[in-house]
Structure 1
Amino acid sequence: MYQKLLHSTNRLHPRAFDFIQLMRLDRPIGTYLLLWPTLGALWIAGAGAPSVKNVIIFILGVILMRAAGCVINDFADRNFDGHVSRTKKRPLATGKITTKEAWILFAVLVTLSFGLVLLTNAATVWLSFGALAVAALYPFMKRYTYYPQVVLGAAFSWGIPMAFTAETGSLPTEAWLLFIANMLWTVGYDTYYAMADREDDLKIGIKSTAALF
């Protein structure tokens, strides 16, 4: 039903689903993988009863920032995706969406996310700049290191310290232990996921832990 609802957006605009695909709203598993550790951190920080306001802020923030991360990822990979069987039909690779449109969408998503984080506190606002940095840096790391998944792990774990500062105003040891554990978990599952692209990545010079091992 969810997929049918997304496809029905083309009735509103003929290119609507192209933008949905660019943001991966049709593939919510990535959002779940970002959301679960973030909400877990909120519940731990809130001793089992986190602020309802913070829960809403972080759910919306995760959805928006995951979408923004997908947009900047496809922008960075637009000249490579056409050579990889799994990604060759992505909207930027096929030209259905222009780079200018992608940048505008990225800016809108980031602005909305920043508006949400402004509803928290100063410590969380400062941490949000780090979240944006690692999210934007990850796609470009594939050109320079075999460990881009480490950067992705940091990006998918950044919500953990932000949840603690939003809920408690501090960063206790358990926040960093959860951060490291989730980062390692992300490296593991994304390496497995990247194995599907390994042969294509080796041909076009894209680096990853899948190509390394």
Structure 2
Amino acid sequence: MTDSGGRVADATGNWVDLRAPAAFRPYLRLARLDRPIGSWLLLMPCWWSVGLTGLAMDRSPSGWHIVLFLIGAFAMRGAGCTWNDLVDRDLDGKVERTRSRPIPSGQVTAKQAAAFMVAQALVGLAVLLQFNRFTILTGLASLLVVAIYPFMKRITYWPQIFLGLAFSWGALMGWPAAFGRLDWAPIVLYAGSICWVIAYDTIYAHQDREDDMMIGIKSTALLFGANTKRALAIFYSAAVLLIGIACLMAGAGWITLAGLALFAGHLAWQVKRIDIDDPALCLMLFRSNREAGLILFAALLIDAAL
């Protein structure tokens, strides 16, 4: 099937809608290249882990690793989203915000989407094979979590935990890419990143709260409800504490700690600002986590370099 020019309801006015050839648009939308924020959020734990290696080695981390993780994050997020859309194609057709996605709207068939998912996964595999054996095996282990995540919203009010396990996996990748092993610093970073993901995806899930209740999808947004601010404060505080401990384990100096303070301030601003009944605000705050993550990464790089 070819794209009729239809746009995805929650991603209009982007470069895919305006500039991409019509035949490519459904596939670019499957890969979420019309809204790359998820790829950036997947990338942040990878880059943080690379930043920790710079602290531990007292020098700038590998620029090549930074580039590889950038490519890999975009490829694997695209593959993961395509898998999610395949699993959720019937549910997506019942939700106002997602019914215009390529599969439920008929822009591509399930077979075409599956083939595209394999192609993206092969790009990710090509990137993964550039690393050492330990890192390759660590990366392959993430596929189990990625595979089961789309099903979790059907059985638990905590699907955000499983998203956190998947989206934070990069915290376990950057360190062994440099050292060929895992130590406590990246493991603690992983735990902190999971807390961060649970919080920001709770914000995101408030956009679909009413539709989710109608069709039986579970989320922490529904679980926390009016207590969302308190829950966000708890998870964001845990994220800052654990990430801070990981940085200190790797040898962080005052520049990293200053960056961590700015990161914490950004998260506190989100908690103060959020209105769970304002979907547009929830989306804006969710997206702002890219800037929060980049602040921390920049501090790690500067600290390692100096």
Q: TM-score, normalised by structure 1?
A: 0.93
Contact 2:16–2:25, Cα closer than 8 Å, also in 1? no
1:34 is matched with 42
Max Rg structure: 2
2:27 is matched with 19
Contact 1:164–1:175, Cα closer than 8 Å, also in 2? yes
Please tell me whether residue 83 in structure 1 is matched to residue 94 in structure 2: yes
Contact 2:16–2:34, Cα closer than 8 Å, also in 1? no
> Which ranges of 4 or more aligned residues in structure 1 deviate by more than 6 Å?
none
SS in 2 for 1:92: coil
1:133 is matched with 144
| Number of equivalences | 209
Residue type of the alignment partner of 1:202: M
Residue type of the alignment partner of 1:32: W
Q: What stretches of structure 2 of length at least 5 have no aligned partner?
A: 1-12, 225-306
| Distance apart, 1:130 and its partner CA | 2.0
Question: Structure 2 residue aligned with 1:58, among 56, 65, 69?
Answer: 69
1:170 is matched with 181
Using the alignment, how far apart are the partners of 1:161 and 1:4 within structure 2? 33
Q: Which residues in structure 2 correspond to 1:113-152 (within 5 Å)?
A: 113-152=124-163
| Distance apart, 1:4 and its partner CA | 3.5
1:3 is matched with 14
SS in 1 for 2:89: coil
Contact 2:157–2:220, Cα closer than 8 Å, also in 1? yes
Using the alignment, how far apart are the partners of 2:113 and 2:65 within structure 1? 29
SS in 1 for 2:29: helix
For each residue in 1:5-44, what CA deviation from the matched residue of structure 2 results, as whole angstroms up to 9, or x when unmatched? 663221xxx3211111111101011111111221121021
For each residue in 1:141-184, what CA deviation from the matched residue of structure 2 results, as whole angstroms up to 9, or x when unmatched? 11121111101001111011111111111211110111011101
Contact 1:46–1:168, Cα closer than 8 Å, also in 2? no
| Distance apart, 1:188 and its partner CA | 0.6
SS in 2 for 1:44: helix
2:113 is matched with 102
2:295 is matched with none
Residue type of the alignment partner of 2:132: N
Please tell me whether residue 205 in structure 1 is matched to residue 216 in structure 2: yes
Q: 1:3 to 1:198 in 2, by over 3 A?
A: closer
Please tell me whether residue 188 in structure 1 is matched to residue 199 in structure 2: yes
For each residue in 1:84-125, what CA deviation from the matched residue of structure 2 results, as whole angstroms up to 9, or x when unmatched? 111111111111111101111111111111111111011111
Using the alignment, how far apart are the partners of 2:112 and 2:218 within structure 1? 27
CA-based RMSD of the aligned residues comes to: 1.6
Larger displacement relative to structure 2 (174-183 or 133-142): 133-142
Residue type of the alignment partner of 1:45: T
Q: TM-score, normalised by structure 2?
A: 0.65
Residue type of the alignment partner of 2:181: S
| Distance apart, 1:54 and its partner CA | 1.4
1:44 is matched with 52
Using the alignment, how far apart are the partners of 1:5 and 1:22 within structure 2? 11
2:3 is matched with none
Question: Structure 1 residue aligned with 2:164, among 141, 153, 176?
Answer: 153
2:255 is matched with none
Using the alignment, how far apart are the partners of 2:15 and 2:210 within structure 1? 33
SS in 2 for 1:80: helix
Q: 1:118 to 1:6 in 2, by over 3 A?
A: farther
